[in-house]
Amino acid sequence: MLFNSPEFLVFLIVVFSLYWLVLKKHHRMQSLLLLVSSCIFYMFFIPKYIFILFITILIDYFAGMKIATSEGRKRKVYLVVSIISTCMVLFVFKYYDFFVSNINSISSIVGWNYSIDAMKIILPIGLSFHTFQSLSYVIEVYRRKQEPEKDFLIYSLYVMYFPQLVAGPIERASNLLHQFHEKKKFNFSLAAEGMHQILWGMFKKVVIADTCAAYANHAFASHDTLSGMSLILGAIAFAFQIYGDFSGYSDIALGTSKLFGVRLMRNFNLPYFATNISDFWRRWHISLSTWFRDYVYFPLGGSRVEGWKLYRNVFTIFVLSGIWHGANWTFVMWGLIHSIFYSAYVMIYKPHKKSKSEQSNPPSFVSNFTGGILTFFIVTLAWIFFRAANVSEAFAYISDIATQPMFASDTKVFLKLAILIIPFLLLEWFNRKSTEGVIFSSYNIKPSVRLAIELVLAVLIIDCFYTLDHEQFIYFQF
């Protein structure tokens, strides 16, 4: 079930009504309702895959209990068993075919008569997200930062909670589990905030992302015939497509969750206003970047290590982050580009060696502005690899930018994008102080004006929903 589908609207109304009208005094039944709804939500994709999720839940639930009650080497064994079994599911479904095709390519290059058959199985939706969420739970229990969850229903809900099941945010047990235990009372302002966030998320997805998708699809499909400027604008269109798509999804997830009285972590914080690449990664897909920071970067020594080890750590997290996105060399390249620019940033500015007082000195407007432009350029360059079907297509796209005439009649068509993107960016800028990006929540706007804005957004969503091709949420495939 997609968030931008009529089925989801009906589903949400039914679950919300049952939750607050029928079961408002039965906290446990509310949790059960959320779990059953999450199962139904998940089974809309490929029903039998629910068993994979069930097995993962079962393993990590018992592993969490065992880790907490064991001491010494046993704890580590349980942790390793849990990590391996959870990651094995991810490997089989997501990476096995990629691994096999690379083995086959290598064996044919070196002249071995050896090939392994690919499994060609469909990837369970959101597998990477709930795998990482489960991993974070067992690691936190192992680190004794989290009590094991004894209630199987609550633990299952932690993994399966439908607003964030298929594309995050990748929640931490410390943020989510206690909320499921708390008795819920309907909170008007939270629910209203949730509705505004859903509306804004839908706008970002249906109006911004899907409109930009048409430009990006055209640019990537015909890059050998378009002018250089059109290709640059096509890459920018993809940058806004993926931002609108994923941050829109996250807004809908956060907003939906608020309707049930549960706050999820913020996943985006105006990433295209980042003033450097490090700042970008503090603002983009925050739940994933903090996951890699806490469970990979810090255990490797983080930025406290000296010399080449620091760059090894940067390289490791970005390449892993690329592979996390998908089994394709394009994602590895995407991670690699980020690691190169991040390393260059660390090498030049040495932010890890600056004292807190040095770090708190605000940079000048000019420095922020040029830094912002440069960061956006780097990020967009990396998006070309993310979007392309394969690495050679990405290089061909970049080469076409340089070799095709810079302006042609098609450039005018792509310039229309500015009419969409510039007002959107301005809106985001004015909205920068709002709580969790909830539209205009930081402004004291007259109710009638707020209502008018809501209506305009809703009409534009309906317009684009029916007149544009629907693009599936990009991050659903991960």
Partner 1 sequence: MKTFAKKILFRIVLLTIVVSALFAMKLPRSYYFSIPEKTDFSKMTWIENKLNATPNLDSTVVFMGSSICFNGINDSLMNAWDTSSTEYINLGLTHTCYAIIDALLENMVVDRNLRPKKVLLCFKGDAMARNIHNMYSLVAESDQIIHSAADGNMLFVPSFLKRASWNVNAATRFFKHDDGDERMIFHSNYGFEPQRVRDSVEVEKIYKRLKAGSEANFASIEQEAKGGPQSFKLKLLLAKVDYLENVKFQRNQFEKSAALLDKYGIDYDIILYPNMISARMEKEYLMADYIKRTFKNIDYSKHEVITVNDPAFKDATNFVDMNHLNPKGAAVLTKIIYEKLSSN
- The rounded Cα 358 to chain-centroid distance in angstroms is 32
Tell me the CA distances in angstroms from 422 to 102, 235, 247, 352, 378, one per residue in order: 43, 16, 18, 34, 19
Q: Is the CB of 261 or the CB of 335 nearer to partner 1? A: 261
Core vs surface per residue 245-259: b (16+ CB within 10 A) or e: bbbbbbbbbbbbbbb
Residue 257 C-beta: closest distance to partner 1, Å: 16
181 is catalytic: no
Q: Which string of x and - marks every residue 336-375 that binds partner 1 (by CB under 8 A)?
A: ----------------------------------------
Q: Is the CB of 66 or the CB of 258 nearer to partner 1? A: 258
Residues 3-62 contacting partner 1, CB under 8 A: 6, 20-21, 24
The length of the chain in residues reads 478
Tell me the CA distances in angstroms from 272 to 68, 121, 141, 451, one per residue in order: 42, 36, 35, 28
Query: Does position 459 bind partner 1 by CB under 8 A?
Result: yes
Neighbours of 407 (CB within 10 A): 12
Q: Is the CB of 65 or the CB of 468 nearer to partner 1? A: 468
Query: Does position 445 bind partner 1 by CB under 8 A?
Result: no
Q: Which stretch binds partner 1 (CB under 8 A): 151-159, 362-370, 415-423, 470-478?
A: 415-423
- Using CB under 8 A, count the residues that bind partner 1: 33
Residue 463 C-beta: closest distance to partner 1, Å: 4
Identify which of 204, 157, 202 has the alpha carbon closest to the alpha carbon of residue 57.
157
Q: Is the CB of 295 or the CB of 465 nearer to partner 1? A: 465
Residue 390 C-beta: closest distance to partner 1, Å: 23
3-state SS, one letter per residue, for 258-294: HHCCCCCCCCCCCHHHCCCHHHHHHHCCHHHHHHHHH
Neighbours of 392 (CB within 10 A): 11
Neighbours of 27 (CB within 10 A): 14
Neighbours of 89 (CB within 10 A): 18
Distance in angstroms (rounded) separating the CA atoms of residues 76 and 388: 41
Residue 414 C-beta: closest distance to partner 1, Å: 8
Among 72, 113, 188, 355, which residue sits at the site for partner 1 (rule: CB under 8 A)? 188
Q: Cβ distance 159 to 129 under 8 Å?
A: no
Among 211, 247, 321, 441, which residue sits at the site for partner 1 (rule: CB under 8 A)? 211
Residue tagged active-site, from 130, 196, 223, 325 = 325
Q: Which stretch binds partner 1 (CB under 8 A): 82-90, 150-158, 298-306, 465-473?
A: 465-473
Query: Does position 465 bind partner 1 by CB under 8 A?
Result: yes
Q: Tokens in use for 15?
A: 């679950």
Which residues lie near partner 1 (CB under 8 A)? 6, 20-21, 24, 186, 188, 191-192, 195, 211, 214-215, 217-218, 413, 416-417, 419-420, 451, 454-455, 458-460, 462-469
- Catalytic amino acids? 325
